[in-house]
Amino acid sequence: MNSDDKRLRAVGPDDEAEVHRLLCVPEVYRYLADGVEPSPSIASHLVHTAAVDFEQRGGGLWVLTASDNPDILGIVRLAREDEGEDNRELELTYLLHPTVWGSGYATRMAHTGMHHAFGSGLVSAIWAGADVPNTASIAVMRRLGMRFRRNVEYPAGPGVEYAIDAAAFDVDRAVPIEIV
């Protein structure tokens, strides 16, 4: 597959099983879920809260697919989990199937989602976190122009958070992925 055949699309209710399948790849959940295989309820939550994120918060959940294959190769999510959080700040989550690691898709799809979120006018800042050993994810945050925000402690050990505000976001920093 060439790099131009990948597309992002908004997640739909029919994607729940495929999202769960991706979340259950051991290399994916190693850092995402602190090394514990996620239950189907996690995928259900992600899929079913996406509509609110799209409609009310400027975020959403997009899936990465190839034009010739409906399998979900990755996801990018911009959401707010806790109603007590700053309602103009979203958390960025991105993950890819290991078959497409190292291809630049994590940066490109995260950047595309961030551009959508900041363009909505509803989002003032975006942050992301990673376990300290997850150097690939930390590198993506840096490539996105995000800056170190703070050290955190996750259940599996130390982590870091990076953030960027709307004024610092560079729309030309990465090649976007088409949203269909």
**Domain count within the chain:** 1
Identify the band that residue 84 occupies on the pLDDT scale cut at 50, 70 and 90: low
Q: What is the pLDDT of residues 106-140, one digit of tens each?
A: 999 999 999 999 999 999 999 999 999 999 999 99
- The CATH number covering residue 52 comes to 3.40.630.30
Q: Is residue 177 part of a domain?
A: no
pLDDT score at 1: 38
Q: Residues 133, 30: contact at Cβ < 8 Å?
A: no
Q: Is residue 36 part of a domain?
A: yes
Q: Is residue 179 part of a domain?
A: no
> Whole-model pTM?
0.93
- Measured distance CA(115)–CA(4) in Å, rounded: 19
Q: Is residue 64 part of a domain?
A: yes
Q: Residues 35, 24: contact at Cβ < 8 Å?
A: no
- Measured distance CA(4)–CA(167) in Å, rounded: 29
Supply the range of the domain harboring residue 95: 3-168
- Measured distance CA(149)–CA(154) in Å, rounded: 15
* Greatest mean pLDDT range, 2-6, 161-165, 174-178: 161-165
| Crossing angle (nearest 10°) for helices 16-23 and 40-52 | 130
Query: Residue 23: left (phi > 0), alpha (psi -120 to 50), or beta?
Result: alpha
Range of lowest pLDDT (30-44, 73-87, 160-174):
73-87
Q: Is residue 24 part of a domain?
A: yes
Q: Is residue 178 part of a domain?
A: no
pLDDT score at 177: 94
